[in-house]
Amino acid sequence: MTYDLVVVGGGPAGLAAAYEAFNNGIESILIIERDMELGGILNQCIHNGFGLHTFKEELTGPEYAERFIDKITDTSIEVKLDTMVLDIKEKTIYAMNPIDGYMEIESKAIILAMGCRERTRGAIYVPGDRPAGVFTAGAAQRYINIEGYMVGKEVVILGSGDIGLIMARRMTLEGAKVKAVIELMPYSNGLNRNIVQCLEDYDIPLYLSHTVTQIIGKTRLEKIVVSQVDDNKKPIKGTEKTFTCDTLLLSVGLIPENELSKQAGLQIDTRTNGLVVNETMQTSNEGIFACGNVLHVHDLVDFVTQEAQTAGKYAASYIKDEYKKGTSVKVKNGKGITYTVPQNMNTISKESIRVFMRVSTPSYHQKIVVNCGGKEIASFKKKTLLPAEMQSIVLTKEHLAAIEGDITIYLEEGK
Amino acid sequence: MYDVVVIGAGVIGASIFRELTKYNLKVVVLEKEIDVAMGTSRANSAIIHAGYDPEEGTLMAKYNVWGSELFEELCKDLSVPYKKNGSLVLGFNDEDMITLEALYKNGNKNGVKGLALLSREETIKKEPNLSEKVRGALFAPTGAIVGPFEYTIALIENGVMNGGEARTSSEVIAIDKKEDVFTLTLKDKTKLECSYVINAAGVYADKVHNMICEETYRIMPRRGQYYVMDKSQGDIAAHTLFQCPSKKGKGVLVTPTVHGNLLVGPNSEDIEDKEDLSVTNEGLDAIKDAAKRTTDKINYRETIRSFSGLRALSDREDFIIEEDKKVKGFIDAAGMKSPGLSAAPAIALGVVDLLQKKGLKACLKATFNPKREQIRFMELPQEEKQALIKKDHRYGRIICRCENVTEGEIVDSIKRPVGATTVDAVKRRCRPGMGRCQGGFCGPRVQEILARELHLELQDIVLDRDHAYILTGKTK
């Protein structure tokens, strides 16, 4: 099998990237999706709030996905569902499904859009027993929204990430009693609108600077012990509270799913756990592009779509042999910034470049400063900066013209 | 009327059970849990010790060395993952170096083959990720790693294939004996009769023993906690890396697993509750600290699970493999602390020999088939993969993305003799959920396949044992 472009992953990133490549003149495109349907994780996100930027309206997850699925249906883009990519070597993709069996697929370019997975209990060392009733929030969401089954009656949620907050509301609407949301950090890790709409509207208490210190239950979860933590995030003795509950949902972070990328020998950024890309979303290997949560975890799907469109467009130019290589400079993160995507930039870029980043702690009235060789080449005023909310800045052609070497992005007080 | 009833389907009971099915005997193994290999056999270091530790002349020494020699072929016959990766006991100071020499001598007396004392340079050459402080090591080329629950399950399956009977959810609550016949009462009031009873009840062996015998020993569980690391850490060690043993046991080890993960642990805590498999912050922190002596290369952010297992320690120094002095025909195979797993195949031979000495009439069956096969799809050559998918398309569908387990393998694990009925039972047989996402993606799908194949409702499928329900009902 041979294609011009193979897109690994049929979630929002893969769909938008494939469609954009098609719009840029590429006809031979294959999307490989491991699930039985396109749409990825959006399919289980039945709440609304998707697409405010992209479509200027509030859609549910499946509706947002449907917009793109409809678009690609009328194109020459091929889709293989229920298909797992096992390995990628150079530009050869090894995949498998029940109908075609084991396949070797050659492609001129590849876009990686595998998304992310949830951090588990093992990764955060919650001590205690290992009963049934401890779920990652996303797994619980799948049971409830896709399978139509409830996972419990009395619930505590560890982690105030967006999925955890959304699930607090969802479980409540399904008749469960959500007793508390526990957050290790002194601030929430979810979007503010979700704190209001999912917790405050339902009187669900949020315990900041707290964590679960004991899980109790031999068969099904019976109770959990929660403790306050000190500045070093260590539990404080004597602050233990016990909650009787049959369910603990974990919303403790997402990890870009890059096992395939690692097999393919692509460079990974230890700050994001995602792939290293330049402004065209090209990875460390020529002709392999990436977009979406496989790069860094997004809080809004609209930004995933934007990134995917960039990847699709430049993958198309690569296939058409129009991709221009320039001198690459590094984008480094300075004070207050935990990472940036892209991590590298080509100085010959003729277009403006959007740089995504996250801040390390909540702060107010700041400037995001872009510095090159001691010279400030751009700065952007920000009223509120929260770790939960991804930031982005746009470097214009004028800004880019001033870049002569590696750039650093950092925060500065700026009223 | 059975010839022999084996109580307990852990690795000891399973080994004895399978050994007995080589003979023209009516044999049953009884397990109180919903599945076999649910106790210590599912939560341990997963290693086959070479046999230099146990004191010369003990049952532990005899059965360890002998058992370790039998393991490789057994695993081949039973299609169980096994790798003779060799082990190193590391020395960090003068005292350790003396201990290593003593272990070397003891190992030679025990008949362990190929032992060698290595210099620091020789040690580092074998294991470049060791800490600066390593001074030398005892190298045991016959040390190995194995899939302990896969092994136990395979033994039971093979025993059943050869005419033995295995009953799960069958807790023995009383044992009586009249004349030469034992009567065992199960929790559901079923009664079984037999001529011989083998007590391989692990941490509950004393309880079973005392149902009919006078108390002669006590089991006092000693808990050990472990970290399971992502495969990203699996290359840190090629050998099983021990530190020098102390009175508390063999200490914290760092070892690759047969599946390419890294296992770090155990600590050692005497506990009262025989069901307490919890992990603690203190325990895990202590392991991390201790393992640092061996290597500082482990990235604990790559932990995918922590777990605890209970060593079935008795108040005697050695394994307890004997007929009760008063109740003839009641045989204990108990007190199986480390190296219980390593010794299991030899213990089975020893117990069958003991049974024959105590009057069991047993003739070898010509029909016994030592082989048991299990398809591990990803290990097949390309052509065989293709052919298998053509024959059964379910082998073309990956259910577990982390470990690349196909639907075909999951269905097989349910359909096999003593097949899986719980999500964890499937996991122990073919690994969905063992990987880095810990079943986040595949758990619901495994549950669906179980419900479909067993003709049950989705919410009837439990995680690992009765009452460990996953779902509470349908949504509104």
Which one of 3.40.50.620, 3.30.930.10, 3.50.50.60, 3.40.225.10 gives the CATH number of domain B1-81+145-217+318-373?
3.50.50.60
Query: From the centroid of its chain, how far is CA A64?
Result: 16
Please state whether beta strands B172-178 and B330-334 pair in parallel, antiparallel, or not at all (unpaired). Answer: unpaired
- The CA-based angle B219-B225-B226, given to 5 degrees, is 135
Same fold, A1-118+254-323 and A326-415: no
Using CB atoms and an 8 Å cut-off, which of residues 52-71 of chain B contact chain A? none
Residues A90 and B148: their CA atoms lie apart, in Å, by: 38
Note if the bond before B381 is cis, omega within 30 degrees: no
Looking at beta carbons, which residues of chain B come within 8 Å of A175? Answer: 476
CB-facing half-sphere around the CA of B8: CA atoms within 13 A: 28
Question: Which pair of structure tokens corresponds to residue A242?
Answer: 């016990």
The residue behind tokens 């005697």 is B316
Closest to A134 in 3D by CA, of A116, A144, A122: A122
CB-facing half-sphere around the CA of A144: CA atoms within 13 A: 27
Q: Hey, are the CB atoms on B393 and A153 less than 8 Å from each other?
A: no
- The continuous run of DSSP H or E covering A256 comes out as strand A254-256
Helix axes A301-319, A12-23, angle to 10 degrees: 40
Looking at beta carbons, which residues of chain B come within 8 Å of A102? Answer: 382, 385-386, 389, 396
CB-facing half-sphere around the CA of B73: CA atoms within 13 A: 7
Residue B385 neighbours by CB distance under 10 Å: 19
Residues B216 and B198: their CA atoms lie apart, in Å, by: 16
- Residue A338 — φ and ψ, nearest 5°? -90, -30
Query: Sign of torsion, CA B373 B379 B384 B387?
Result: positive
Domain A326-415 annotated CATH 3.30.420: no
Please state whether beta strands B303-311 and B240-243 pair in parallel, antiparallel, or not at all (unpaired). Answer: unpaired
Nearest CA distance, A219 vs chain B (angstrom) = 4
- DSSP of B55-67, one letter per residue? PTTSHHHHHHHHH
Nearest CA distance, B394 vs chain A (angstrom) = 6
Give the residue ranges of DSSP H helices in A104-216. Answer: 121-124, 137-142, 162-173, 192-194
3-state class (DSSP) for residue A78 = strand
Residue B361 neighbours by CB distance under 10 Å: 11
Residues A18 and A31: their CA atoms lie apart, in Å, by: 7
| Residue A337 burial class via C-beta count within 10 angstroms: exposed 0-12, middle 13-18, buried 19 and up | buried
Nearest CA distance, A179 vs chain B (angstrom) = 17
Question: Which pair of structure tokens corresponds to residue A335?
Answer: 């004070």
Q: Which residue of A has its CA nearest to B385?
A: A102
Residue B183 neighbours by CB distance under 10 Å: 14
pLDDT at residue B371, as a whole number: 98
- The residues, any chain, with a CB within 8 Å of residue A357's CB and separated by 6 or more, are A333, A337, A338, A339, A340, A341, A368, A390, A391, A392, A393, A409
pLDDT at residue A375, as a whole number: 93
Question: Which pair of structure tokens corresponds to residue B340?
Answer: 């219980």
Dihedral (Cα; A74, A257, A291, A83), 10-degree rounding: -20
Residues A140 and A150: their CA atoms lie apart, in Å, by: 8
- Which CATH number describes the domain made up of B87-141+220-311? 3.30.9.10
Residues B414 and A186: their CA atoms lie apart, in Å, by: 47
Looking at beta carbons, which residues of chain A come within 8 Å of B382? Answer: 102
The residue behind tokens 């060791």 is B130
Q: Which residue of B has its CA nearest to A145?
A: B475
Using CB atoms and an 8 Å cut-off, which of residues 400-419 of chain B contact chain A? 401-402, 404
What is the domain partition of chain B in residue ranges? 1-81+145-217+318-373, 87-141+220-311, 377-460
Looking at beta carbons, which residues of chain B come within 8 Å of A139? Answer: 439-441, 443-444
B/e letters for A24-38, b = 16+ CB within 10 Å, e = fewer, are bebebbbbbbbbeeb
Question: Which pair of structure tokens corresponds to residue B312?
Answer: 């079935």
- Residue A227 — φ and ψ, nearest 5°? -125, 155
- The CA-based angle B81-B84-B87, given to 5 degrees, is 125
3-state class (DSSP) for residue B312 = coil
Whether residue B386 lies within 8 A of chain A, CB to CB, comes out as yes
Looking at beta carbons, which residues of chain B come within 8 Å of A97? Answer: 396-397
- Residue B144 — φ and ψ, nearest 5°? -145, 165
Residues A337 and B391: their CA atoms lie apart, in Å, by: 54
Q: Hey, are the CB atoms on A97 and B390 less than 8 Å from each other?
A: no
Residues A234 and A232: their CA atoms lie apart, in Å, by: 5
Compare CB distances from B471 to A34, A151, A174 and report the shortest one's residue. A151
Closest to B420 in 3D by CA, of B389, B453, B442: B453
pLDDT at residue A415, as a whole number: 66
Residue to substitute from A33, A114, A117, interface B, most B β-carbons within 10 A: A117
- DSSP of A393-412, one letter per residue? EEE-HHHHHT--S-EEEEEE
- The residues, any chain, with a CB within 8 Å of residue A251's CB and separated by 6 or more, are A118, A136, A137, A157, A158, A159, A160, A161, A162, A163, A164, A165, A167
pLDDT at residue A347, as a whole number: 73
Residue A410 neighbours by CB distance under 10 Å: 16
Assign a CATH topology to domain B377-460: Arc Repressor Mutant, subunit A (1.10.10)
Active site residue B49: yes
* Residues A65, A73 contacting (CB under 8 angstroms): no
| Residue numbers in chain A where pLDDT is lower than 50 | none
What is the domain partition of chain A in residue ranges? 1-118+254-323, 120-252, 326-415
Residues A164 and A136: their CA atoms lie apart, in Å, by: 9
Residues A263 and A87: their CA atoms lie apart, in Å, by: 7
Query: From the centroid of its chain, how far is CA B395?
Result: 28
Whether residue B228 lies within 8 A of chain A, CB to CB, comes out as yes
Q: Hey, are the CB atoms on A150 and B472 less than 8 Å from each other?
A: yes
Q: Hey, are the CB atoms on B469 and A82 less than 8 Å from each other?
A: no
Helix axes B407-415, B443-454, angle to 10 degrees: 50
List chain B pLDDT tens, one digit each, 476 residues: 999 999 999 999 999 999 999 999 999 999 999 999 999 999 999 999 999 999 999 999 999 999 999 999 999 999 999 999 999 999 999 999 999 999 999 999 999 999 999 999 999 999 999 999 999 999 999 999 999 999 999 999 999 999 999 999 999 999 999 999 999 999 999 999 999 999 999 999 999 999 999 999 999 999 999 999 999 999 999 999 999 987 767 789 999 999 999 999 999 999 999 999 999 999 999 999 999 999 999 999 999 999 999 999 999 999 999 999 999 999 999 999 999 999 999 999 999 999 999 999 999 999 999 999 999 999 999 999 999 999 999 999 999 999 999 999 999 999 999 999 999 999 999 999 999 999 988 999 999 999 999 999 999 999 999 999 999 999 98
Residues A80 and A204: their CA atoms lie apart, in Å, by: 43
Nearest CA distance, B92 vs chain A (angstrom) = 29
- DSSP of A297-358, one letter per residue? --S-HHHHHHHHHHHHHHHHHHHTT-PPP--EEEEEE-TTEEEEESSEEETT--S-EEEEEE
Looking at beta carbons, which residues of chain B come within 8 Å of A35? Answer: none
* Residues A395, A409 contacting (CB under 8 angstroms): no
pLDDT at residue A205, as a whole number: 97
At the fourth CATH level, the homologous superfamily of domain A120-252 is: FAD/NAD(P)-binding domain (3.50.50.60)
Which one of 3.30.420.40, 3.30.465.10, 3.50.50.60, 1.10.10.10 gives the CATH number of domain A1-118+254-323?
3.50.50.60
Looking at beta carbons, which residues of chain B come within 8 Å of A117? Answer: 436-437, 440-441
Question: Which pair of structure tokens corresponds to residue A298?
Answer: 């997004």
- The residues, any chain, with a CB within 8 Å of residue B458's CB and separated by 6 or more, are A147, A149, B447, B448, B451, B471
Query: Sign of torsion, CA B114 B120 B125 B126?
Result: positive
* Residues A386, A299 contacting (CB under 8 angstroms): no
* Residues A14, A308 contacting (CB under 8 angstroms): yes
The residue behind tokens 């009925």 is B421
What region does B101 belong to: left with phi over 0, alpha with psi -120 to 50, or beta?
A: alpha
Question: Which pair of structure tokens corresponds to residue A223?
Answer: 């109770």
Residues B200 and B209: their CA atoms lie apart, in Å, by: 10
* Residues B149, B35 contacting (CB under 8 angstroms): no
- Residue A126 — φ and ψ, nearest 5°? -85, 120
Compare CB distances from A132 to B232, B401, B469 and report the shortest one's residue. B469
Q: Which residue of A has its CA nearest to B459?
A: A149
